[in-house]
Amino acid sequence: MFNLRKKLSIGFGGLLVILVLIGSQGIYLVSDLGQSIDVILRENYRSVIACQEMKEALERMDSGALFCLLSYIEGKDIISENELKFEKALNIELNNLTVPGEGEKAERIRILFLQFRSVMHNFLNVDISQDSRRDMYFKKLFPLFQQTKKAAEEVLHLNQQNMSDANDLARAKAASARQQMGLLLFVGALVAVSFIIFTRQWILYPISRLIHSADEIKKGNLDLCIQVGAHDEIGQLSEAFNDMAASLREFRRSDQAKLALMQLSTQQAFKNLPDITVIIDMDGTIDAATELARNFFGLYAGGRIEDTAHEWIRSLYADARSADGVIAARGQKKVFQVFVHGKEHFIEPHAVPVLDTRHQATGVLLSFKDVTQQQHNDDMKRGLVSTVSHQLKTPLTSIRMAIHLLLEEKVGTLTEKQAELLLAAREDSDRLNTILEDLLDISRIESGKVPMSFTAVSAQVIASEAAEHFAAAFQDRGISLNTDVPGDLPEVMADAPRIVHVFDNLLSNALKHTSPGGAVTITVHADEEWVVFSVADTGTGIPREYLNNIFEQFFSVPGQVVPAGAGLGLAIAREIVEAHGGKIAVESTEGRGSIFIVSLKRADSMVREGKQS
């Protein structure tokens, strides 16, 4: 006959097999997917960067040649410097041939560059006349420049296409992995259901009898004797239950001993909980604490809350004593950095008052969530965005400078078509530069590296300046811009240039999405703590399903007729408002318009809070 151990082994064994299969398959699929992604980063990325550097070096060498034609001696230095850069990038490409056909194209680049360099050296010969140098440039040097650049672009496009193919392959593998994991989870669920059915028969029914007997003992019937029906562990438990009842009959004489045993068991169980949890009475004495609470903060049962070295824990406890719900740490800092055995951790604390039946506080429950991994992920994301933005900014600046020089016709007269193309290129490069600046702003604000100069600013001034900035634009489009700003509004604590950027963004969006004949209204009102600004328009509105995403980076509402930007404006606005300790929200009805609401702290309320603290 099966004992309870064998019964449980059958059920849990099946679950273990499914778990091992799912885990093994998951590890394999993740590894395979990781290798596919690694192809994109490891094999092709170096070639893409090398080709971009070759193109940039060629363009600068061509610029240097133009300088020489104009008799600027700086041109030779530019050519020499970028010749070395091109050769370095070319060597990287020649040693990183990963795509079929890439070797032939890279060799063509090398041959063309040798010809280009040879002509360039003849071009720089001081013994030739200026007319000969000009003919050499337009007949030999410039065509070779174009051919070499085109060859580099071909290698660049070849690697980019391979990266795209590898990305498609990774997506296909991810879809296959989802299907396989779904099938394994379905099989696991079937095994679990089967185990539940057998568990009811083998375990739950006998345990129900034990529960009924326990209820009888709870009522004081210590003379109860449980009938032992099986010889498995449940039967042994029934026998132990009978022995316990006999012991309780003896123990009943000592209520104090019974209470001590229960208290000891509770404390032992609480101590080994897997979370950082502390219970403190109203006098500041710690009634119970988990082992992690001792390791992280030195909090232990019997100790005092004022003995902790962390002032924010003491403040959290003091605030929770007078609260009636869950509260977080005071101020803007919601996550705290602590070091445990030399290892960095980030902790998010919460506190809950323990209330009796009359809703009177009898203690405080402190809980601490370890968000270290989440914090590290956020840091990595911010670092990646900042690094990529900085790396793109230098070549973009060079491109914009080159376009500017060409448009000013400092290196030759432009045809009408050339001027049109360069104007379009300048607009696109300016737009890209704005995107990079926005990305850098978000990165700096999130990391706290943007210095904020908070001063008391008039709410009327903020609203009126915002309206003045856009008055002409609204008038040109036939949209009325209205303000409803009382004259007795309090001041707010704000960094004026930053907060103006927020309202510029909101009014710019309202202008884009409101048709001629519509209206945009700026209203301001105040309560005891906040000054609330709202920008309401009669535009297209935002579908309800996108309201929760509107402040996310790179998000634009799908299907809008108005051309969308990079999707960074509202994200920056939210970061700036939250850096002020304020709040930003949106209300919208599709087809009727939107209302963006910005709440900033009153200057006098912040002064009162400072005095109280």
| DSSP letter assigned to residue 139 | I
Q: What is the DSSP string of 478-512?
A: T-EEEEE--TTPPEEEE-HHHHHHHHHHHHHHHHH
Mean pLDDT, residues 316-338: 63
pLDDT of residue 183: 82
In this predicted model, what pLDDT tens digit does every residue of 515-569 receive, in sequence order?
899 999 999 998 888 999 999 999 888 888 888 878 877 667 765 655 555 567 7
**What does the pLDDT look like over 235-279, one tens digit per residue?**
667 777 777 777 766 666 655 555 555 656 665 655 566 667 877
CATH number of 376-446: 1.10.287.130
Q: Residue 143 above 60 pLDDT?
A: yes
Question: Which one, of 470, 581, 451, 450, lies nearest residue 521 by Cα?
Answer: 470
**From 29-38, 438-447, 478-487, the region with the lowest mean pLDDT:** 438-447
Sequence spans of domains, the chain: 4-189, 206-262, 263-370, 376-446, 455-612
The phi and psi torsions of 71 (rounded to 5 degrees) equal: 70, 30
CB 116 within 8 A of CB 148: yes
HSE-up of residue 358 (Cα within 13 Å, Cβ side): 2
* CA 558 remoteness from chain centre: 22
How confident is residue 600, by pLDDT bands cut at 50, 70 and 90?
very high
Q: What is 263-370's CATH topology?
A: Beta-Lactamase (3.30.450)
Q: Are 456 and 492 in contact (CB under 8 A)?
A: yes
| 331 has a pLDDT exceeding 50 | no
Q: What is the mean pLDDT of residues 29-52?
A: 71
Residue 278 near residue 288 (C-beta atoms within 8 A): yes
Higher pLDDT, 518 or 379: 518
Residue 103: per-residue pLDDT: 86
Structure tokens at 531: 């000054």
71-83 as b/e: b if 16+ CB within 10 A: eeeebeebbeebb
Q: Extract the tokens encoding 44.
A: 């092709």
Q: Name the nearest CA neighbour of 505 among 592, 442, 452.
A: 442
Judge whether 263-370 and 376-446 match in fold: no
Output DSSP code: residue 577: H
**pTM attached to this predicted model:** 0.40
Residue pair 293/273 in contact by the 8 Å Cβ criterion:
no
The pLDDT tens digits of the residues spanning 381-425 come to: 555 555 655 556 667 676 767 777 777 777 777 788 877 787 777
CATH topology for 4-189? Answer: Four Helix Bundle (Hemerythrin (Met), subunit A) (1.20.120)
Q: Are strands 276-281 and 361-370 parallel, antiparallel or unpaired?
A: antiparallel
Average pLDDT over residues 150-178: 81
CB-side exposure of 137: number of CA atoms within 13 Å? 20
Distance, CA of 176 to CA of 171 (rounded, Å) = 9
pLDDT at 434 (0 to 100)? 58
Q: Which residue has the higher pLDDT, 314 or 232?
A: 314
d(CA 259, CA 263): 6
User: The domain at 455-612 falls in which architecture?
Assistant: 2-Layer Sandwich (3.30)
| pLDDT computed for residue 509 by the predictor | 86
Contact 483, 522 (CB under 8 A): yes
Residues 6+ apart with CB under 8 A from 185: 22
Which residue type sits at 292?
L
Average pLDDT, the chain: 76
